[in-house]
Structure formats: structure tokens, C-alpha cells
Amino acid sequence: MDFWNNNTNGTNTSSINNDDLNIPVTSQHGTRSLSPYLNFDPSYLQENAPEFITLEDNKQRGRFEHAFVHIGGASMIGASIGGTLGFYRGLKATTLAGQTGKLRRTQLINHFMKNGSTVATKLGAVTMLYNGFGVLLEYFRETEDPLNALGAATVTGMFYKSSGGLRKCVMGGGVGLALASIWCLWNNREALSEIRHHRMNPA
């Protein structure tokens, strides 16, 4: 193998004689060329497979897949809100009691942890009931639409307040229905805007 050749100017340049590398350039007679660096046959590659994964190729996640995110998020939000309120109440209580130093810090931590865990548990339980009823409605109705959200929220409110009597049960269902209605209107605001636009400007 000759790696160094003299050119006309008398300087040495590096060149490689490809005939001496002893690397096959084709896998078989009449087939595609092999890569001289990786030494594989490109015909083995699946050219029909998609090069990129697009969102259209993935099936949209249902309510059951979203339930875990909703429950965890609701618990974290409840812990944050409850802890903040508990800390504020602890500040007022310790100030009125005249507590200072380590005793006050301990009371503040107790208020923060107790109130935060209480609100997180309640909000997480309500979210779990809502998603559970929503999954059942989606399964039996075999579709996912705003009616599932409205029905799940109404039943959740009634079930959560069922121990307080019929009146509180109905009130809980009404609150759940109202909150779900606001949520559905907000999520479908673009569709509602288009409907209103078509009614005001009919073709």
C-alpha cells in the first residue's frame, strides 16, 4: 500500500489506494453498494417504516390515563393552598398567644402540615371520585364528550355530600354541575365563538 506520493512540487501528500483496502463494495452481484466505512448492506434497512413519530400516529389518551395526573395535581395544589392557609393561621394564633422562639416555630410547622394534609386529602378524594365516575361514563357510553364531565361532576358532588342529608346532597350535586359547566364552557370557548359568529353572519 502506497500512502505517500510525491507530487510535481516535490511535497508529500497523503493518499489512500482504495484498491488495497480489501473492503467489498457490493454485497452480491447487482445489489446496492456497501458502505466502505460501516460495511453493511443498506437493503437491510426498513425504508417503509416512518422516519419520525408524529402526533397523528398516537392514539389520544382517555380519561383513565389522565386520572393519575389529575389526582396527583389536585393533591399538590391542595397541599400548597392548605399549607399556606395553615401557616397564616399559625402566625395569628402564635402572635395572640405571645409564643416565641422554638415553641412558635413548632406551632407554625404543625399548622402548616396539618392544614396542608387536610386540604390535600379532601381535594384528592374529590378528584379521584370525579375521575372514577368519568371513566365509568366513558366506558358505558363509549365516547368522551362534555356530557361525561357534567355527569361525573354532578354525581361526585352528590356522593361527597351524601352523608349530610338530602338537602346537602342536592346542593353538592348543584355545585359540581356548576363547576363542570364553567369548565366545559371554557374548554369549548372557540367552538362556541364560531357558532355565535355563524349565527350573527349566516352564509
Rg of the chain over Cα atoms, rounded to whole angstroms, equals: 34
156 pLDDT band (50/70/90 cuts)? Answer: very high
The pLDDT score that the predictor gives to residue 78 is 94
110: helix, strand or coil = helix
Q: How far is CA 175 from the centre of its chain?
A: 27
Dist. CA 135–CA 109, nearest whole Å: 38
Tally of residues, the chain: 203
Dist. CA 176–CA 158, nearest whole Å: 8
118 pLDDT band (50/70/90 cuts)? Answer: very high
40 pLDDT band (50/70/90 cuts)? Answer: low
Residue for grid cell 389520544:
60
The pLDDT score that the predictor gives to residue 3 is 43
Least confident of 39-48, 112-121, 163-172: 39-48
Share of the chain above pLDDT 70, in %: 68
Least confident of 14-18, 84-88, 89-93: 14-18
The pLDDT tens digits for 183-192 are 888 888 887 7
Average pLDDT over residues 36-61: 58
Is 125 a residue whose pLDDT tops 50?
yes
Average pLDDT over residues 106-131: 94
- CA dist list (Å): 86 to 80, 111, 132, 163, 187: 10, 5, 30, 26, 33
> Taking all residues of the chain, what is their mean pLDDT, rounded to a whole number?
78
The better pLDDT of the pair 177, 195 is held by 177
Q: Where do runs of H (alpha helix) occur along 41-145?
A: 63-97, 101-141
Highest mean pLDDT among 20-24, 49-53, 152-156, 192-196: 152-156
pTM assigned to the model: 0.63
Dist. CA 69–CA 55, nearest whole Å: 20
Dist. CA 68–CA 176, nearest whole Å: 20
Is 1 a residue whose pLDDT tops 90?
no
- CA dist list (Å): 111 to 21, 48, 94, 99, 101: 78, 62, 10, 14, 16
Domain ranges of the chain: 1-54, 64-200
The pLDDT score that the predictor gives to residue 144 is 83
Average pLDDT over residues 130-137: 92
